[in-house]
C-alpha cells in the first residue's frame, strides 16, 4: 500500500578545513570579520527528512510517494530516488528557488560554520495532498519536518478529508508555536518524537503525556541507546531494544530510517513489536554508514541480523515481506 511522505528534501554540502577556525578569528575584530577558508574536501550528500524516510521505505519494498518542494536542480536527485523505489510524480518544482541546501565546513577541532538555505521548501505550503492520495491509493500520510505552515496545512487537510496520518515534527518543534503543534498532532494516528522532543513538545503545548496520547492514537518515542517506547490507546506498552551494531560511522538520518522501517512493517500488517524491531535494525544500518541514503538492504543479511538481535521468530516473520 502506498504511503505519502511529506517533508523536507535537501542536499548537504559538507567541507573540511584543515586548521582551526579559532586561530583565524580575532576577538577585537569580529565586528568586521571577512574570511574565506580554503577547504580540502567536499562531499555532497542527499538528504532531507522526507527523502530519507522515502528512501528507506523503498529499500524495504514499500511504495513511498514523496511530497515536498524542490528546485529545477532536483533532476539528478530525482533519478536517484526513483531508481530506489520512490515515487516522485507529485514533488512540487519551484520556478524561482533552488532545492533546500545545508552548507557546512568543519575544522580540525570539529567546530562548524554552516548555513541552511530553505529555498524551495518555503513553497511546500502550497502543496495539496488529495491528488497524490487519490492517484496512488495511499492509506497513510507521514507529515515530517518541513516548512511549518506546510505541516499544519497537511494535518488540517488530513482531518478534513479523513486521511490517516502520522505526525513527525522532529527538529521543527523548536521553530513551531504551541498552537501550531496542537494543530499538527490533533487526530494523528501516530506521533513520532525522540525523548528530548517529547519533553519539548509537552512544554510548548502545555499538554501532559496522557493529554498528548488522548489527542493521538499511538505515541512512538525513540530513546537512543535505550531503544524505543510505544504506547497508545488500546496498545499495551511496548519496549524495543536497539539492534546490535557492528560499528558507529555517522548518526545522521538514524531517526528517519527508524520511521521508514517501522511504517513499512506496519504496512505489512506486523505487530507493534515487530515494527519497532524492523525500524531499529534499519536505523542501525544507517548508523553504520556515512550518509543517510548510502545503505543497501539485502534480504538474507537483513533477516540474519534480525535473528541476531531479536531472535529467529522475528526473522522468519519479516523475511517473506522483503523484496
Spot the catalytic one: 75, 256, 301, 304: 256
Question: Is the dihedral angle over the CA atoms 77, 81, 86, 89 positive or is it negative?
Answer: positive
State whether residue 146 is helix, strand or coil.
coil
Q: Is there a contact between 222 and 195 (Cβ–Cβ < 8 Å)?
A: yes
Compute how many other C-beta atoms are within 10 angstroms of the C-beta atom of residue 155: 24
Instruction: Quote the cell numbers at residue 135.
Output: 492517484
Longest Cα separation, the chain: 65
Q: Is 256 a catalytic residue?
A: yes
Instruction: Quote the cell numbers at residue 190.
Output: 501516530
Pairwise CA distance, residues 198 & 301, whole Å: 33
State whether residue 65 is helix, strand or coil.
strand
State whether residue 101 is helix, strand or coil.
strand
Active site residues per annotation: 256
Amino acid at each position: 500500500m502506498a504511503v505519502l511522505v511529506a517533508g523536507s528534501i535537501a542536499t548537504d554540502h559538507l567541507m573540511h578545513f584543515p586548521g582551526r577556525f579559532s586561530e583565524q578569528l580575532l576577538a577585537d575584530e569580529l565586528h568586521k570579520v571577512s574570511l574565506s577558508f580554503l577547504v580540502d574536501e567536499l562531499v555532497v550528500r542527499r538528504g532531507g527528512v522526507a527523502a530519507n524516510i522515502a528512501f528507506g521505505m523503498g529499500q524495504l519494498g514499500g511504495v513511498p510517494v514523496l511530497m515536498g518542494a524542490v528546485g529545477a536542480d532536483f533532476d539528478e536527485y530525482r533519478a536517484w530516488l526513483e531508481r530506489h523505489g520512490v515515487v516522485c510524480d507529485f514533488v512540487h518544482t519551484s520556478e524561482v528557488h533552488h532545492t533546500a541546501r545545508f552548507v557546512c565546513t568543519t575544522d580540525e577541532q570539529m567546530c562548524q560554520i554552516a548555513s541552511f538555505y530553505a529555498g524551495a521548501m518555503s513553497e511546500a505550503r502550497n502543496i495539496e495532498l488529495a491528488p497524490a492520495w487519490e492517484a496512488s491509493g495511499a492509506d497513510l500520510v507521514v507529515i515530517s519536518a518541513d516548512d511549518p505552515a506546510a505541516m499544519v496545512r497537511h494535518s488540517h487537510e488530513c482531518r478534513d478529508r479523513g486521511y490517516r496520518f502520522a505526525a513527525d515534527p522532529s527538529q521543527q518543534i523548536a521553530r513551531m508555536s504551541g498552537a501550531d503543534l496542537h494543530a499538527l498532532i490533533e487526530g494523528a494516528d501516530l506521533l513520532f518524537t525522540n525523548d528530548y522532543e517529547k519533553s519539548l513538545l509537552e512544554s510548548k503545548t502545555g499538554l501532559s503525556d496522557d493529554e498528548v496520547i488522548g489527542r493521538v492514537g499511538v505515541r512512538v518515542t525513540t530513546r537512543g541507546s535505550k531503544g524505543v517506547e510505544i504506547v497508545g490507546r488500546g496498545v499495551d506498552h511496548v519496549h524495543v531494544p536497539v539492534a546490535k551494531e557492528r560499528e558507529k560511522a555517522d548518526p545522521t538520518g538514524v531517526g528517519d530510517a527508524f520511521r521508514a522501517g517501522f511504517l513499512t512493517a506496519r504496512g505489512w500488517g506486523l505487530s507493534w513489536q515487530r515494527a519497532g524491531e524492523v525500524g531499529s535494525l534499519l536505523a542501525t544500518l544507517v548508523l553504520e554508514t556515512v550518509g543517510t541514503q548510502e545503505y543497501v538492504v539485502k534480504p538474507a543479511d537483513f533477516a540474519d541480523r534480525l535473528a541476531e538481535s531479536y531472535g529467529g521468530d522475528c526473522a522468519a516473520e519479516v523475511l517473506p515481506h522483503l523484496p
